[in-house]
A and B are shown apart, each in its own frame.
Chain A
Amino acid sequence: MQKLIGISNVKKQYSKSKIALDGIDLEIPVGKIIGLLGPNGSGKTTFMKMLAGIARPTEGKIYIDGQEPGVYTKSIVSYLPDQNQLFKWMKVQDAVAFYTDFFQDFEMEKAKELLTRFEIGNKERVTSLSKGTVEKLNLILCLSRKAKLYVLDEPLGGVDPVARDQIIDMILDHFHEDCTMIISTHIVSEMERLFDEVLFLQRGKIVLGGNAEELRLQRAKSIDAVYREVFAQC
């Protein structure tokens, strides 16, 4: 299977005592949905920021589609941060225009269709939207790109159960075999059906990883139960 991401001995150290990632070695193929699971402070967001090209490793190398993070990788990575990053002055249409301006792979028609489906008005200000709607808007923008890699940091963060289902459906609808998705979440029970593979991150290290289905069979448990078991021990 074709490899999309290669990570070798990546370390990220913010200060002497704060090590966010500690010697990560990983290869991620094309066409998979990877669940990145771990408690708060385990290094998930740092890992994702590195893939998005907005944080650099202290040591080690990251390759995405054969290249180190930079202008090219940013053009093929669609990143959904854990918090809304749209400017406060923006209306929905401004946000769409922003993506259209800067990302060649952005499909405006797709975005418009999704905005209509989720009843998000073009003229609405980002600040006037509810948290769940902002999350949906950010996800719509992110998924309306025809990217090779989607990096979704907590896409269900703080949204109600109905919105969660809609978001999960949206992710499933837009996944295609030419791309890879890395999704971090705390809400494992609702997301686990999406995952082909899972990575359990603890204190900057991968403590467990592998095919989600095999893991379920091996341990005769859901991924959510495995998550609870793994992190209860730590």
Chain B
Amino acid sequence: MLKLLKYGVVDGYGNLVMSHGMIYSVYASMVITRYLMGFEDTFSYIYKYSFFMPIVVLIIMDLSIEGAVDRNKQMILCLPKKGWELSGVVLLKSLLKVGIACICSSIAFYIHLSITKNPRRMIQAIIENVNFPLGALFSGMLMIFAAVSIVSWFSWVLVHSCKIKHKKLCGFFITIVIIIIAQSIGGMIAVLFPLRVLVPNAVLYIFPLLKEAKYILPINLTGIIIPMMIYIVCLWWSARWIDTKIDI
């Protein structure tokens, strides 16, 4: 199993899901959400539960993964550009990923808190923050999407480690994921469109120096959506668990 996971982590797809995914976003978003919601004990909370450390460690880990000279990076490094431009792009990509993970997780956690503590406030929060029908669709679809994503990811790892013996199985899961993506599209547009499309585009067109970003960012296009879905579900459940342990 460990070998399978390791294979998945090393493989680009698994790398995105595992290394950038579940762990730090859970911690990071809890801290950020608490801070945004005005809990004054945020920093003592961080200290008490040492939530801050995993964030730092994992962000550093993330950056070091990004910094590693893999084959694609080699292609970037060959470009006749100054070092700071090249490393800046890699750093930007990583920060963007961390940022998006934190923001999305925070939204989910915020909604979750609203649901558990005050239904009226939940509705208000959704209406105020996200268009209600889209928000509802988004929340519902995320659950299914994340579940299917997890299953399809494991099948992906399995298929890869079995040297593509079960192409049909893989195709089946990928088809399901595509169907769910199609179903979720309305909900995703509401939240992801501004983040996923506007932010990178702004970066690309406002800062022409960072032309390279155009070639790095699409790598995450498929990777980032699925991990984000997983973040949110993990968060949802971890938040529930925390609710039972801590009196918010």
Q: Does B72 contact A (CB under 8 A)?
A: yes
Chain A interface helix/strand/loop/mixed: loop
A contact residues around B71 at 8 Å (CB):
81, 83-85
Interchain CB contact under 8 A, B75 and A85? yes
Q: B31-81: which residues lie under 8 A (CB-CB) from chain A?
A: 69, 71-72, 74-75, 77-81
Q: Does B133 contact A (CB under 8 A)?
A: no
Q: Does A230 contact B (CB under 8 A)?
A: no
Binds B, one of A9-17, A20-28, A67-75, A212-220: A67-75
Q: A74-125: which residues lie under 8 A (CB-CB) from chain B?
A: 74-75, 79, 81, 83-89, 98, 101-103
From A72, A83, A85, A103, residue with most partner B Cβ within 10 Å: A85
Minimum Cβ distance to chain B for residue A12 (Å): 14
Minimum Cβ distance to chain A for residue B168 (Å): 19
Q: Which of A72, A84, A88, A101 contacts B211 (CB 8 A)?
A: A101
Interchain CB contact under 8 A, B75 and A71? no
Interchain CB contact under 8 A, B81 and A79? no
Q: Does B140 contact A (CB under 8 A)?
A: no
Minimum Cβ distance to chain B for residue A140 (Å): 15
From B12, B78, B81, residue with most partner A Cβ within 10 Å: B78
Report the separation of the CA atoms of residues A85 and B73 in the bound assembly, to the nearest whole angstrom. 8
Minimum Cβ distance to chain B for residue A126 (Å): 11
Q: Does A54 contact B (CB under 8 A)?
A: yes
Q: Does A33 contact B (CB under 8 A)?
A: no
A87-B215, A88-B12, A98-B215 known; A74 vs B79 contact (CB < 8 Å):
yes
Minimum Cβ distance to chain B for residue A224 (Å): 30
Interchain CB contact under 8 A, B211 and A75? no
Minimum Cβ distance to chain B for residue A98 (Å): 6
Interchain CB contact under 8 A, A86 and B79? no
Minimum Cβ distance to chain B for residue A71 (Å): 5
Q: Which of A52, A74, A84, A87 contacts B219 (CB 8 A)?
A: A87
From B72, B79, B81, B219, residue with most partner A Cβ within 10 Å: B79
Interchain CB contact under 8 A, A54 and B78? yes
B contact residues around A71 at 8 Å (CB):
80-82
A contact residues around B81 at 8 Å (CB):
71, 74, 102
Interchain CB contact under 8 A, A89 and B218? yes
B contact residues around A101 at 8 Å (CB):
211
Report the separation of the CA atoms of residues A54 and B87 in the bound assembly, to the nearest whole angstrom. 13
In the complex, the chain A residue whose C-beta lies closest to that of B72 is A87
Q: Does B221 contact A (CB under 8 A)?
A: yes
Q: A50-77: which residues lie under 8 A (CB-CB) from chain B?
A: 52-54, 71-72, 74-75
Interchain CB contact under 8 A, B75 and A74? no
B contact residues around A87 at 8 Å (CB):
72, 75, 215, 218-219
Minimum Cβ distance to chain A for residue B41 (Å): 45
A contact residues around B212 at 8 Å (CB):
102
Interchain CB contact under 8 A, B78 and A52? yes
Minimum Cβ distance to chain A for residue B113 (Å): 37
Q: B67-104: which residues lie under 8 A (CB-CB) from chain A?
A: 69, 71-72, 74-75, 77-82
Q: A168-203: which residues lie under 8 A (CB-CB) from chain B?
A: none
Excluding A89-B219, A102-B81, 16 further A-B contacts by CB distance (< 8 Å) are A52-B78, A53-B77, A54-B77, A54-B78, A71-B80, A72-B80, A74-B81, A81-B71, A83-B71, A85-B72, A85-B74, A85-B75, A86-B75, A89-B218, A101-B211, A102-B212
Contacts A/B (CB < 8 Å), 18 sampled: A53-B78, A54-B74, A71-B80, A71-B81, A71-B82, A74-B78, A81-B71, A83-B71, A85-B72, A85-B75, A87-B72, A87-B75, A87-B215, A89-B218, A89-B219, A89-B221, A102-B80, A103-B80
The 3 closest A-B pairs by CB, nearest first: A75-B80, A74-B80, A85-B75
